[in-house]
Every structure is written in structure tokens, then in C-alpha cells.
A and B are shown apart, each in its own frame.
Chain A
Amino acid sequence: VQLLESGGGLVQPGGSLRLSCAASGFSVESYAMTWVRQAPGKGLEYVAGISGRGGSTDYADSVRGRFSISRDSSDNTLYLQMNSLRAGDTAVYYCAKASGLVASGSYLTDRGQGTLVTVYS
């Protein structure tokens, strides 16, 4: 299993970024996939998740309405579209594979090395 994030960078408040996570060794449709972030010097925070098969999505309250998680089975990639970015969104964003089809009842088994998003003014 390998997960490789990309798309992070510097953006001004109100701007947008799209993160990608290229997966190999498994199908992103076969497991729940999530994005988890970590602000500098802080703990881990669940951002968004998408279930295997049906593809239902869920979001943390802090990003609901601004972020959108999706996946593309043709290139086995997970995405996070981030709009209306705020300073509080500054963090390393990790793509993570869950142990089962849905996040509830599944734990984080594999993750990428993360991509840094910095929102500055």
C-alpha cells in the first residue's frame, strides 16, 4: 500500500487548492478513505471521509460547506477540493486509508507522508 499526496502550497485567505492522493496496492473504492490534518505543533484532526463502494461523504464541522472529498477510480486517486480557505486551515494534510468500507468502525491503517497547506495574508 502506498499513498502519495500532492497539491499543497501557499494560498491567500479566500483562495482554493485541490489536494490529490495517488493510491497504489489497493483500490480506493474498496475502503473508506479520509483526509486528516495536523496544524503546526498541534494534534490530529479528521477533515473528511468517503466510504468505499457507495461513496457517501462526511465532513468535520470546521470544513463542511467549504471542502469537498471525491475519488476517481480510473486513476485510483483521492481528492480534496478546498475552497474559502482560512488561516486556521494551515496544516499538513494526510491522506489515509481506513480498515473497512466505512469510517465508523474502521481505524487508520495507512497514510501518506502529508502535504503542507499554508494560508497566509
Chain B
Amino acid sequence: DIQMTQSPSTLSASVGDRVTITCRASQSISTWLAWYQQKPGRAPNLLIYKASTLERGVPPRFSGSGSGTEFTLTISSLQPDDFATYFCQQYESYTWTFGQGTKVEIK
């Protein structure tokens, strides 16, 4: 299976900060990568697919980049609604694998 490693596991930030989360794949996945946001007690929501394509309705302060094995999710100016856990997911293979998650906390 393709392993996905996210960093950091936890991130403390303030409203207005620029935040970057990294996701690394154990082998090349081209741009077959998605990012999801999950809030406590809720199901995950799609933010970005194909590494950099913003899902409809997602605010443009979210952006994704990367290809091959290294990817980033950036929030340009953190808003109160953005405090949540973020997961990356590869879909290059039939069996999807997810990163372990990055919790964005209020500093």
C-alpha cells in the first residue's frame, strides 16, 4: 500500500496566520491527491482534488500544490471556521490511503 505521511500532527496558529500542511507519499502518485477538512463529530468534507483543484464552494484562501511524492495545503489567512483537522488522501491506487491528519488549533 502507498503510505501517506502528514506533518505536522498538530499546528497552533492565530486568526489571520498563513498555514501550511505537508503530505508525503511513499511512492509517486502524480497529482492523484485530495485534501479534506473534518470538524469534531462531523464527517470529512472535500476541499481540494487533483492536488490543486478547489472543490466548488470552498473559499479561495485554501490552495493545494505538489506532484509526485510531496504536496502542500495552504490556508492563506486562517479564519475561525478553519480550526479543524485536515487529511490528505491518495487515490492513485484502488485502495485509498489517508494521512494521519493535522489538527489546526487556536494559539
Contact = CB atoms under 8 A, between A and B. Distances in A.
Contacts of B96: 34, 36, 46, 49, 103, 108
Contacts of B32: 105
Given A111-B43, A113-B43, A43 B99 contact: yes
Among B50, B91, B98, B101, the most chain A Cβ lie within 10 Å of the Cβ of B91
B98 A45 contact: yes
B97 interface: yes
A105 B32 CA distance: 7
A99 B89 CA distance: 14
A43 B87 contact: yes
B49 interface: yes
Contact of B101 (A43, A104, A105, A107): A43
A53 to B, nearest CB: 15
Contacts of B50: 107
B95 A49 contact: yes
Contacts of B89: 44, 107-108
Interface string B1-41: 10000000000000000000000000000001010100000
B86 to A, nearest CB: 11
A44 B44 contact: yes
B9 to A, nearest CB: 10
Contact of A46 (B46, B92, B98): B98
12 contacts: A43-B99, A43-B100, A44-B98, A45-B98, A99-B49, A105-B32, A105-B91, A107-B34, A107-B46, A107-B89, A108-B34, A113-B43
Interface of B: 1, 32, 34, 36, 42-44, 46, 49-50, 87, 89, 91-101
Given A43-B101, A107-B91, 19 more contacts: A36-B96, A43-B98, A43-B100, A44-B89, A44-B101, A46-B95, A46-B97, A49-B94, A99-B49, A103-B96, A105-B91, A105-B92, A106-B91, A108-B34, A108-B46, A108-B96, A109-B46, A111-B43, A113-B43
Across chains A and B, which 3 residue pairs bring their CB atoms closest together, nearest first?
A107-B34, A46-B96, A44-B98
